[in-house]
Chains A and B, each alone.
Chain A
Amino acid sequence: MRLERHAYLDRAALLCYLATVVALTSVHDLRVLGAALALTLAVAGGGALGLMRRVVLAVGPFCLVVSVSYAVLTIPSGQFSGGYLVLVNLRVAVLTSLTFLVMERVNLARALGFSRGLLYVVTLATSQALTLRRVVEDYRLALKGRTLVRLGLRDRYRHSAASAARLLAKGLHQSGEIALAMRARGFFDDTSSR
């Protein structure tokens, strides 16, 4: 019963987040967006600095390229607007920090629990992504550890292609293994599972 209540709260929070995103992209007032960013950081509390660091790492390069390009292209023609640059960067910062904050506080798995099939796919995909990511990193380090000189373009292509192919082959193999494991545990016997 308590778990169900938490699930409802998570779903409500997710819906509120989506509504807020639509609202924030419909507002072009710097004061409103500034207040939204301040509120987001206030809710983050002690984690506000870490949150902003994640935001800068995630969207900083894209925003920097757009902002610099905008300045370079519009200053000579006199069409430059500093207000626009503040508006767009502030909006990106608010939306991205809000996304990170909500994802920290909301249990995504519980929020998606209304569909057992979707929950299963998301949970399995996330866990498998971490495993497969380690495989790719292992291959990269293995190649690095076995070569003394910088490899040529052809060899680097072969390594990338082999990693990609191995990743898919491993994925295909693991999906079969997981299907057998789930069947053995009776997951597919429950007709309400999808």
Chain B
Amino acid sequence: MHIPDGFIAPVVYLPAYAVAAGAWAYAVRRVQASLDENTLPFLAVMTAAAFVLMMVAIPLPGGTTVHAAGIGLLGVLLGVWTTFLSVSLVLLLQALLFGAGGITALPVNALAMGLAGGASAWLAFTGLRGWNGRVALFTAGAVSVLVPALLIALALGIQPLVAHAPDGTPRFFPFGLSVTLPAVLLPHLIVAIGEGILTVIAYRYLAALRAPRAA
């Protein structure tokens, strides 16, 4: 789902940085209210865990695998703002150290995956857990993949509209919404099912381990 540098136009990533900066400042303030000698290491280690969680393989029928994002699980366990900060830091480290996702794509990726993904997972979980815990966890995992995928498809799909040469030739990502929406969303439907199942089983393992949870 990561977008490398060079495919997002400044007219999109600069405003996205402005929005993300506001969201980061708010998230830091929210988390900082409880930022002490326990929560500071907690944030650092959860960031590391989120980083490595993205290496865990989700098996797909047919023998192939895709990588988990773990955002559903993080959203359910850590809440929206800690998830947003953790995922943003992960994306920053991935962009700077491994070239996975770029520095220009960082605000788009962070807002889509960290904020929208974490918030949608948390909302789905809190909204549905009174009805059925498993369905709530599955939905949290699934929407944490689908909502960011939708937003990233939109961000990519508007590139030919907002940045093109006078003759209409694209300058950044070349495909419009008619291509990006199905191309990004359809494969992610399968990933979402895998992420949903992973979230249910992983949460149950954690519950069995009686791990403390920070909401």
Q: Give the size category of B's interface with A.
A: 35 or more
Is B43 an interface position by the 8 A CB rule? Answer: yes
Residues B32-52 near A (CB distance < 8 A): 32, 35-38, 40-49, 51-52
**Contact segment of B108-116, B125-133, B143-151, B198-206:** B198-206
Pick the contact of A122: B3, B89, B174 (CB < 8 A): B89
Using known A-B contacts A132-B48, A175-B45, determine if residue A18 contacts B59 with beta carbons closer than 8 Å.
no
Is B181 an interface position by the 8 A CB rule? no
B167, closest chain A residue (CB):
A81
Where chain A touches its partner, the secondary structure class is: helix
CA distance A165 to B47 in the complex (A): 15
A35 within 8 A of B: no
Known: A83-B169, A92-B6, A157-B197. A121 touches B47 (CB 8 A): yes
Within 8 A of A (CB), among B94-142: 95-100, 102-104
A18, A91, A136, A183: the one within 8 Å of B55 (CB): A136
Our pick among A54, A120, A183 for the contact of B99 (Cβ within 8 Å) is A54
CB distance from A20 to the nearest CB of B (A): 11
- Most chain A beta-carbon contacts within 10 A, residue among B6, B37, B58, B174: B6
Interface residues of A (CB under 8 A from B): 18, 21-22, 25-26, 28, 54-55, 58-59, 62-63, 66, 69-70, 73-74, 81, 83-84, 87-88, 91-92, 94-96, 99-100, 103, 108, 117, 120-122, 124-129, 131-133, 135-136, 153, 156-158, 160-172, 174-176, 178-179, 182-183, 187-188, 194
